[in-house]
Chain A
Amino acid sequence: MAYRWNFQPVFENVDVLLIGAVGTLRLFVTCLVLGLALGLAVGLARYSKSRWLNAPAACFVELFRNTPTLVQILWFYYALPVLLPFEISPLAAAVLGIALNASAFFAEIYRGGIQSIERGQWEGAQALGMSHAQVMRRVVLPQALRRMLPAFTNRGIEIFKMTTLASAVAYVELLQQGKSLASLNFNPIETYTAIAVVFFICLFPLVQATYAIERRLGRSD
């Protein structure tokens, strides 16, 4: 006997899901911004010639790229509070886990992008008497950022998908709300399908945009 799909309970509880969506967005934006900022700092440190900056940055990158994000989130939620005099909220744990992971990836993207600018650009700017910082700010970073755009958007999409991991520590995002609804209404099929569809609808245009950006850059670069 074929299963009878019934999305009625899902539609009736849109407000519950909306709360989750807000939580997802909040988490996503926080992690994206923190990840980009921290990633830039680490990326520049990685690129630096000084061992004092380079080595710790390299360790940071390797550590946070090579441990699974879920493990990091759980570590921040269960393990860290033991060392600290205060609790870590689900949001804090999720942000720490995802943003640090993201910053490690962003750091490598920054580094790769900066390194891809040919020596000629550096020399031309330095010959004008620009300091290292000025060259970076006025000549190298603006060009590098264009090239890094596809990698950035790819990573951004990954971060968006990773927000679902926060449900493991009961942070109120879309999947977490879905879990509640599914157990309440005994309709996991419709609930999880609906949530999957929401994510797909949100991300598919972004993915297509990334392809378009890659194509456009491939032509003009």
Chain B
Amino acid sequence: MHAWDFSSVWASTDFLLLGLLNTLRLTGSALLFGVPIGLGLALMRLSPRTWLRLPAYTVIEVFRITPPLIQLFWFFFALPILIQVEMTPYVAATLTFSIQSAAFFAEVFRAGIVSVEKGQWEAGRALGMSPQQLMRRVVLPQAVKRMVPAFLERSIELMKTTTLAATVSYMDLLFQTNEVAQKTFRPLEAFTATALVYFVVIFGASVLVRSLERRLAVSGEGVVH
């Protein structure tokens, strides 16, 4: 019977805390870039001009379909040679997850925009609004409200995906945990503790999102998935 001993894990708390902070930092950065890039991709995808639509479609499909770990390896190992730049794990991970999450956000945006009923578009046009004014004043405000739950769900997915950065030695919580496990020879306690931390954070976020969804459903707003 294995004797559980978390003391060495407790001793490494600030080491692990640094990892958690880095996980949040990476998630935050990816969101910061991913959301606006996603919006841009969505608008390009909806554009009647083929030279905008096709590249956006390609980027979205490539980054949604290829496994994120391959994307990360490509950005970390391949890109620096291709464009002759220094690459750090943080930069590679941020680049990868920004674009990858943007591809998914683009689809959420697009579904939200398309879900705004035709009559709204017509009313805006009938007032003499330009397409940009129409999007900005009428369509996007309504689309955004519906997309919030799907957004938050995607953001939670993103937090889970950032663990991949540990494979290129980004010092996130998982990477730090692995270090602690090897140093203290207590992999069971280390990984269990970390799994619990991830669970608490992600489950907590999930619960918040679900209660938000319920609140939105009650107020009569349709919701996009």
Which residues on A are within 8 Å of B, measured CB to CB?
3, 62-63, 65-72, 74-75, 78-80, 82-83, 157, 161-165, 167-168, 175, 178-179, 182, 188-189, 192-193, 195-196, 199-200, 203-204, 207
Q: Is the CB of A164 within 8 A of B2?
A: no
B77 an interface residue at 8 Å Cβ cutoff? yes
| Bitwise interface map of B from 179 to 196 toward A, beta carbon under 8 Å scored 1, else 0 | 001000001101110110
Which residues on B are within 8 Å of A, measured CB to CB?
2, 61-62, 64-71, 73-74, 77-78, 81-82, 159-161, 163-164, 166-167, 174, 178, 181, 187-188, 190-192, 194-195, 198-199, 202-203, 206
Determine the chain B residues whose CB is within 8 A of the CB of A163 once the complex forms.
Answer: 67
Determine the chain A residues whose CB is within 8 A of the CB of B195 once the complex forms.
Answer: 67, 71-72, 75
Q: Is the CB of A164 within 8 A of B174?
A: no
Q: Is the CB of B174 within 8 A of A74?
A: yes
User: With A66-B199, A66-B206, A203-B65 as given contacts, are A195 and B188 in contact (CB-CB < 8 Å)?
Assistant: no
**Nearest A residue to B71, CB-CB:** A196
What's the least CB distance linking A201 to chain B, in Å?
10
Which of A68, A69, A82, A192: most chain B CB closer than 10 A? Answer: A68
Cross-chain contact of A200 among B62, B77, B174, B178 (Cβ < 8 A) = B62
Determine the chain B residues whose CB is within 8 A of the CB of A175 once the complex forms.
Answer: 67, 69-70, 73
Determine the chain A residues whose CB is within 8 A of the CB of B167 once the complex forms.
Answer: 70, 167-168
What's the least CB distance linking B137 to chain A, in Å?
31
Complex Cα–Cα for A63 and B174 (A): 17
